[in-house]
Amino acid sequence: MISATWWRWIVIVALLAGCDICMDLEALPSSNHSALAADRRDPLFPLPPVPKLDTEKVELGRKLFYDPILSGREMLSCSSCHDLKQGGTIPLRRTIGYDGREHEFNATSVYNVANNYRLGWRGKFTSLIDQNETILLERNLMANTWEALLTRLRANGLYASHFKKIYGGPPDRESLLDALVVFQQSLVTPNAPFDRFLLGDKTALTGEQERGFELFKSIGCVSCHQGSNIGGNMFQIFGVFADPSTKRESHQIGRFPRRPSPDAEEKQVFRVPSLRNVEVTAPYFHDGRAGTLEEAVAVMGESQLGRQLNESDITAIVSFLKSLTGEYNGERLKAPPLQDRR
Ligand code: HEC
Ligand code: HEC
């Protein structure tokens, strides 16, 4: 017989073992919890299905996402930096803002974004509403004000009637952000070969991809890139073993850039990015310093795991990462043409 005290210990240990993915589970809509609970022990699990959303809101949000009307001088739309035909980002190391200044950061993909626990490279936001509002108002992003933006939208007959029909009144802060956010919740990319594999189709991965997956787990990539987004749910130092700082001193722009600390490492903390669709979102890292996945994987081996990966292991891991490419509207995401990559 196992005593009650022992049972208690067994339950505590089991809970602790599953706990590194708790954050990701919390981030998911509650309807997904029970379906995923069975997979809790596995650090990687399939993408939850596209949620059921109000299609009218999705379409209004899509229209707004593509419309420069959202930006101060009507020059930029969300899609200028998050092109849904180019992996939900653009193939530029760092994007250029409103006043012509290069941003500190590479544009993250907006695909599967509702499934990230923290948003942005520094993980400053946990809510898409707050994050989107900041983008609309920030001087070097969309450079708008609520007053100017709402006046413009209300004067636009088409928007005025869409908002009236869906939200029962003229466009306001809440309804505009809601439409944008509901649209982003629809940006899910299911049916990646890796998801099919996790769901039981053992032929979905090539032999090379399976070897890459085994390496991804055995050498420890999975300790940081985990959950259904294969990342997006924790903060980590960039440079656990080897310092990857460039001349731009990346550690000045991490999560704690201004915190006075004698420990330089603390400043190089970034959100671990999701690796979903990473095949089509080059260049890589917060500042876009790596042009290819091979390069990014080699840097990860060295800086995060303290190991020099050989060419054959890098090839296998890259091949596995390519199995994370999913579909949007039934079409597999594609990498942008080479001439567009800068
Ligand atoms: C001028 C380029 C630019 C425009 C325009 C732009 N973004 Fe971004 N976006 C970025 C950059 C750069 C980041 C990464 C910023 C960071 O990490 O601090 C980002 C990050 C994001 C993220 C976070 C994704 C994640 O997983 O962390 C979301 C969501 C997002 N943008 C949505 C939008 C929406 C919605 C709009 C339109 C209202 C928009 N963006 C317009 C450049 C842009
Ligand atoms: C200790 C945590 C940790 C480990 C282990 C780790 N990573 Fe990362 N990974 C990160 C962080 C943090 C970043 C973001 C770095 C930055 O740009 O500031 C990242 C970024 C990446 C990127 C770039 C993604 C993008 O969109 O720019 C790839 C690809 C990647 N990791 C793959 C791997 C692979 C493959 C392994 C195993 C060889 C691995 N990582 C191991 C934490 C980790």
Looking at 151, 185, 219, the residue that finishes a domain is 185
What band does 216 get if pLDDT is binned at 50, 70 and 90? very high
Q: Which residues contact 236 (CB under 8 A, 6 or more apart)?
A: 224, 269, 270, 272, 304
- The pLDDT of residue 23 is 38
Looking at 150, 185, 220, the residue that finishes a domain is 185
Shared-domain flag, residues 95 and 110: yes
Shared-domain flag, residues 22 and 143: no
| CATH number of the domain that residue 71 is part of | 1.10.760.10
How many whole angstroms separate alpha carbon 149 and alpha carbon 74? 10
**Ligand closest in space to the Cα of 121:** 1
Which ligand 1 atom is the nearest neighbour of the CA of 97?
1
Q: Which residues contact 129 (CB under 8 A, 6 or more apart)?
A: 177, 178, 181
- Tokens 């890796």 -> residue: 194
Instruction: Please work out whether the CB of residue 78 comes within 6 Å of at least one atom of ligand 1.
Output: yes
Chain segment 293-321, per-residue pLDDT in tens: 999 999 999 999 999 999 999 999 999 99
Looking at 169, 185, 201, the residue that finishes a domain is 185
Instruction: Please work out whether the CB of residue 269 comes within 6 Å of at least one atom of ligand 1.
Output: no
What band does 341 get if pLDDT is binned at 50, 70 and 90? low
Which ligand 2 atom is the nearest neighbour of the CA of 288?
27
Q: What distance in angstroms lies between residue 332's CA and the mean position of ligand 1's atoms?
A: 22
Question: 278-281: long-range contacts at Cβ-Cβ below 8 A with a sequence spacing of 24 or more?
Answer: 278/321, 278/324, 279/321, 279/322, 279/324, 279/325, 279/333, 279/335, 280/86, 280/87, 280/325, 280/333, 280/334, 280/335, 280/336, 281/87, 281/88, 281/89, 281/109
Shared-domain flag, residues 178 and 230: no
- The pLDDT of residue 89 is 96
Shared-domain flag, residues 59 and 108: yes
Report CA-CA distances (Å) from 89 to 180, 190, 300: 17, 18, 21
Shared-domain flag, residues 40 and 177: no
Q: Could you give the angle at the alpha carbon of 220 between the alpha carbons of 218 and 224, nearest 5°?
A: 145
Radius of gyration of the chain (CA): 21
Shared-domain flag, residues 299 and 206: yes
Shared-domain flag, residues 18 and 148: no
Whether 251 and 244 have beta carbons less than 8 Å apart is answered as no
- The pLDDT of residue 269 is 87
pLDDT exceeds cutoff 80 at 95 = yes
Chain segment 174-193, per-residue pLDDT in tens: 999 999 999 999 999 999 99
**Ligand closest in space to the Cα of 141:** 1
pLDDT exceeds cutoff 60 at 326 = yes
Number of domains present in the structure of the chain: 2
What band does 104 get if pLDDT is binned at 50, 70 and 90? confident
How many whole angstroms separate alpha carbon 11 and alpha carbon 260? 41
**Ligand closest in space to the Cα of 271:** 2
pLDDT: which is higher, 140 or 328: 328
Shared-domain flag, residues 215 and 316: yes
Q: What distance in angstroms lies between residue 273's CA and the mean position of ligand 2's atoms?
A: 7
Shared-domain flag, residues 219 and 325: yes
Which ligand 1 atom is the nearest neighbour of the CA of 286?
17
pLDDT: which is higher, 66 or 102: 66
- Top mean-pLDDT range of 227-236, 247-256, 261-270: 227-236
Chain segment 16-49, per-residue pLDDT in tens: 333 333 333 333 333 343 344 444 567 899 999 8
User: Residues of the chain with pLDDT > 70: what percent?
Assistant: 80
pLDDT exceeds cutoff 90 at 273 = yes
Whether 117 and 27 have beta carbons less than 8 Å apart is answered as yes
Ligand 2 surroundings by CB, under 6 angstroms: 219-221, 223-225, 236, 238, 240, 270, 272-273, 275, 278, 281, 284-286, 293, 296-297, 300-301, 304-305, 317
Shared-domain flag, residues 143 and 15: no
Whether 143 and 72 have beta carbons less than 8 Å apart is answered as yes
- The pLDDT of residue 339 is 59
| Structural domain for 295, as ranges | 4-48+190-340
Could you count the other beta carbons within 10 Å of the beta carbon of residue 247? 5
Shared-domain flag, residues 27 and 84: no
Chain segment 237-264, per-residue pLDDT in tens: 888 777 776 544 444 556 554 444 555 4
Shared-domain flag, residues 251 and 300: yes
Mutate to test the pocket of ligand 1, among 78, 129, 277 (most ligand atoms within 8 A of CB): 78
Mean pLDDT over the full length of the chain: 84
Supply the residue whose CA is at minimum distance from atom 17 of ligand 2.
285
